[in-house]
Chains A and B, each alone.
Chain A
């Protein structure tokens, strides 16, 4: 389990750091565009489209495995806390399975979508040409796949009683 845990950490961290870079780049790119438009009378072509299709997609999806490993998805612990321990355990296992199924379906469908877009070479029109958009379509199955793997690891950890390490102090 320890090895799998380390792998889960590695995978979720790697994707998360790409998302952090996308966040930083988004801030810089938009700010430089504003400055360039205002002071140099030269708006950077395609800023809005690049922001929407590259940075946004990266930072919306790539952190999912990281968030999942820490069980930080938005949930409401309204009802479950009052149940007896064993029942709670069974429900938690079933919920994990449901999440794994849902995310796997998402990976399957977003892979189909990415394949179709790649074959067609999806582009968006920007001033002075076309921006290739198909590469970021792959962020979805990659991020979803990582999330599904981490979720499977969480389920294994739950079943074996392994305590998940994220490598940071809580």
Chain B
């Protein structure tokens, strides 16, 4: 069996298992173990099951995930992010789809303090989705906007993914982080436009507030700005700590969580129960995410062993020398891998193949980093394995089926087509800020 057939067969089995409601981590793990036993032997298969879980979790770089999740949960339980969403709601509620726009804008703000898209989607999901559903918003829109806007946290610094890319590509992490600012804001803007257009064309998606309510909201606008100082303090603390060199992007999660806790305690807005609830939410989410992540890494090892890198290289060899075709092919590959693998797996498989090509073509590695992270994040919201969608699903529980969330996300993928085209055609959008640093 060649690498392509093998890859497609195993994918088919994984999808089949997932459709039967096998936990996704188990589906990935079972197929990896049996696949390795098939292409090698059970010694090798058991070795993967024995070694991968510990190695995967015992990783300093990944500590940022539970810590950013914790920061988000504390911000929620102490009303820090409620104030942010409230202010966004007051200012944007007059627009068509105002609450969705508010959720999107609050995600942009939160992204400046949070380096993990999962954490951002979890935090905003708990706040904004119930509010939107209460206001009679379309369920797909309400959940889709949170899952999609969560991805901004990985593009706007701080970002765990950008740091990981920096490791692989050996480029300046600080320049890479700065390069994420404009593409992140651009994506946020594109999402806003999409919501406005959709809700303007189809008002039923997002029932407008009545005039009375709008008037009261307007009156409260200025006051709401005074209430968001805790968010400003949190973002300021995290960003300030990063840019003064006091904390590294990895440490930012833990320090951000401690800072959020400190702010909450100073405000007298959190008690022991709130702290315990924050820990419960964030630690159970971490275990859920890591359980899938371990399966995905095992599956990555299987694909690597069966020659997926060679396969990718072969697919690309026809385009060598033509940067446009190469980028288009790379885009297609990221979209496909993004459907099935987690960010770490995608990076492991693609970096060794693509980085030398990008270097050979003389393309900018910082620009490519933003493109890669954008694609990996798009993979976080595409079915069937869309981790951000899973997080939103865990927040809404049985109220919204997972397929409805994917349907809502679909529209935002449309906006992504537009954003990706701009980022690819005009590298200056990405490179403008890092060039200023030189």
Contacts and interface: CB of A to CB of B under 8 A. Distances in A.
A160 interface: no
B292 A91 contact: no
Interface in B260-287: 261, 275-276, 279-280, 282-284, 286-287
A57 B57 contact: yes
Contacts of A33: 251
Contact of A63 (B247, B284, B387): B284
B252 to A, nearest CB: 10
B49 A106 contact: yes
Given A30-B67, A51-B60, A106-B49, A76 B287 contact: no
B25 A73 contact: yes
A61 B46 CA distance: 19
B178 to A, nearest CB: 22
B30 interface: yes
A75 B20 CA distance: 9
Most chain-B CB neighbours within 10 Å: which of A73, A112, A140? A73
B216 to A, nearest CB: 33
Contacts of B25: 73-74
A99 B20 CA distance: 12
Grouping DSSP codes into helix (H, G, I), strand (E, B) and loop, the B interface class, with mixed when no group exceeds half, is: helix
A81 B390 CA distance: 17
A95 B22 contact: yes
Contacts of A155: none
Given A23-B70, A56-B58, A113-B54, A61 B287 contact: yes
A28 B258 contact: yes
A62 B290 CA distance: 12
Contact of A38 (B49, B63, B246, B283): B246
B286 A59 contact: yes
Nearest to A63: B287
B402 A78 contact: yes
Given A52-B58, A76-B21, A27 B70 contact: yes
Interface residues of A, number: 58
Nearest to B257: A27
A110 B54 CA distance: 9
Given A56-B62, A64-B291, A76-B402, A31 B24 contact: no
A170 to B, nearest CB: 8
A80 B20 CA distance: 6
A21 B346 CA distance: 32
Contacts of A103: 26
A113 B20 CA distance: 32
Contact of B282 (A23, A67, A73): A23
B21 A23 contact: no
Interface string B54-79: 10011110110011001000000000
Contacts of A34: 241, 246-247, 251, 254-255
A30 B291 contact: no
A95 B20 contact: yes
Pick from A16, A31, A55, A99 the residue with the most CB of B within 10 Å: A31
Contact of A98 (B26, B282, B287): B26
A34 B22 CA distance: 42
A78 B255 contact: no
A30 B63 contact: yes
Interface in A89-108: 91-92, 94-95, 98-99, 102-103, 105-106
B291 A78 contact: no
Nearest to B292: A74
A19 interface: yes
Contact of A30 (B21, B54, B251, B287): B251
24 contacts: A16-B283, A23-B66, A26-B63, A27-B261, A31-B254, A31-B255, A49-B60, A51-B63, A56-B57, A60-B57, A60-B286, A61-B57, A66-B284, A73-B24, A74-B390, A74-B394, A75-B21, A75-B23, A75-B24, A76-B384, A81-B401, A98-B17, A102-B29, A140-B53
Nearest 7 A/B pairs, CB to CB: A30-B254, A73-B23, A63-B287, A60-B57, A109-B50, A79-B19, A31-B258
Interface of A: 16, 19-20, 22-24, 26-31, 33-34, 38, 48-49, 51-53, 55-57, 59-64, 66-67, 72-81, 91-92, 94-95, 98-99, 102-103, 105-106, 109-110, 112-113, 133, 137, 140
